[in-house]
Amino acid sequence: MTQSIGRRGLLVIALGLAAVFAAAPGALAQKLPAYDARAGMMNVGPNPERPDAEIFHVAYTMKGGNPATRPVTFVFNGGPGASSAYLHLAAIGPKTLVTTGDGSFPAVPARLEDNPDSWLAPDGKPGDPTPYYAVESDVNFFAGFIRQWLTVNKRWASPKAVAGESYAGQRIAGLTRVLAEDYGINLNRAVLISPAFNVPSIAEPFPPYDLLHAITVFPTLAATAAHHGRSTITNDAAGYKAAEDFALTDYLTGLATLGRMDPKAQSAFYARVGGMIGIDPALVAVNRGRVGEAVFANNLLASRGLVLDLYDGTQATEKPMPEKRDEYGARPRSLSILTGVLQPPLIDYLQKDLGYVTDRPYLVLNLEVSMLWNRKSTMGTPSDLEIAFLSRYVLEQALVTPSARERVTFHNYPGGHMFYLNKKSRAALAADVSKFFEGPYGVVR
């Protein structure tokens, strides 16, 4: 799922919190325009004269582009603690993983190929990083990097955009306000890919009788079940809409009035819910109609001995602990496996194509950072961005004025959290972003 706010040009991919590079020109992709690729470390910190950290980044610049009209897009993943290797090598960079294209992971060692859906297309010594492991300091850290990069590369007069995935949704929400208020940088576009926001009313842990979380997660469960042929809805746009409509009407009122229903009405309600999400009505009843992600992932394909990946429900693997039916006993496969898939080709690409060699370790996903992250903040809420996303429900609640709605486009793509692993979804994302970036930058559409 992607949300776009806001022409394509230079991509700056920020890859880590404490990690910059100056490299040789990148190899030209056969179907891409001529471009330069640079990788390096850039000093950042509150005091430019005494930087206290470095940030590792890769910059792709189209040769012959006009800086006055070619936008600069800063791209990052989320986590917290995740590098941008995911978007860099699986979605929008000029090189991408060689895969079958159905969303499954490639065999290792993985290889890279030219990315036909790349967004690059025509028309001091580091100190202790832990002070940056917090919402507000993280936003200011990236804002400082953006200001520094624009200064060093003389691109202040260029249109400016940001794009990010997952936790980067909260980061971008904060950046849109902080960049404008504290750094004198007004963004022209923002693209949010499977974003997460600071929405306290829909944050874990969920209250046992919560309605909001239940109705916002239900369409995803139904769509996943439909993908596996286990739902009463069809696996297409009409089916997904039916699930959304049900979630906002009969499902919501059904949950709210369960205590007033007689046993026959309750059974009918559980049967309808179970049919749509592919779960035994008896199990739906045990969970009082609120089937959580772990229960769903463990039980949808349990009869086949399979468990769903929590980050991509289209992918299922053999269940190592079939006796566990209501908890997820291991880290999602996407996190465990994809890290090892991405890191070797990334390091090989940096060394051989970009000429950047370092003995510093590169962590695709730093779970220690995530555990230490201070999430207490009011920053990164829908009010910062003036839009929100968790499902279409939250989006529609935040877009209260006609002008705000006109500035936002919303798209769904088949796949999981990292849906761009599916080649068709990646191509559709690139096409939608290309269309979104078209138009004048002096005004907000």
What's the CATH number where 65 sits?
3.40.50
Residues 113, 172, single domain; the answer is yes
Contact partners, residue 179, CB within 8 Å, separation at least 6: 143, 146, 185, 186, 187
- Hey, what are 247's tokens? 């979630």
Residues 224, 190, single domain; the answer is no
> What's the pTM?
0.77
Any idea which residue has 């779970």 for tokens? 367
pLDDT of residue 193: 87
**Cα–Cα distance measured from residue 63 to residue 70, given in angstroms and rounded to the nearest whole number:** 11
How many structural domains are present in the chain? Answer: 2
Residue 353 lies in a domain: yes
Residues 245, 300, single domain; the answer is yes
Residues 114, 26, single domain; the answer is yes
Residue 324 lies in a domain: no
pLDDT of residue 278: 97
Residue 330 lies in a domain: no
Among 318, 348, 363, give the residue marking a domain's end: 318
Residues 351, 288, single domain; the answer is no
Residue 410 lies in a domain: yes
Buried (b) or exposed (e) across 268-280, using 16+ Cβ within 10 A?
ebbbbbbbbbbbe
Among 318, 348, 381, give the residue marking a domain's end: 318
Contact partners, residue 165, CB within 8 Å, separation at least 6: 76, 77, 78, 86, 87, 192, 193, 194, 195, 418
Per-residue pLDDT of the chain (445 residues; tens, 9 = 90+): 444 333 333 455 444 332 222 222 333 334 677 888 888 888 877 776 777 778 888 888 888 888 887 888 888 887 777 888 888 888 888 888 888 888 888 887 888 988 888 887 654 344 566 777 777 888 888 898 899 899 989 999 898 999 888 888 888 888 988 999 999 999 888 888 888 766 555 555 556 677 888 888 899 899 999 999 999 999 998 999 999 999 999 999 999 999 999 999 999 999 999 999 999 999 999 999 999 888 899 999 999 989 888 888 888 888 777 666 666 655 667 777 888 888 888 899 999 998 988 888 888 888 888 788 777 765 544 343 333 334 456 566 666 677 777 777 888 888 888 888 889 999 999 999 888 888 654 433 3
Sign of the torsion angle spanned by Cα atoms 102, 105, 111, 114: positive
Residues 159, 83, single domain; the answer is yes
Residues 15, 112, single domain; the answer is yes
Residues 143, 255, single domain; the answer is no
Residues 193, 129, single domain; the answer is yes
Among 267, 285, 318, give the residue marking a domain's end: 318
Residues 374, 412, single domain; the answer is yes
Any idea which residue has 């890279």 for tokens? 112
Residues 56, 166, single domain; the answer is yes
Residue type, 226: A
Residue 103 lies in a domain: yes
Residue 328 lies in a domain: no
Residues 307, 245, single domain; the answer is yes
Strands in 20-83 per DSSP E: 35-44, 53-62, 72-76
Residue 332 lies in a domain: no
Question: Which DSSP letter does residue 202 get?
Answer: G
pLDDT of residue 33: 78
Residue 445 lies in a domain: no
What range does the domain containing 38 cover? 2-198+339-437
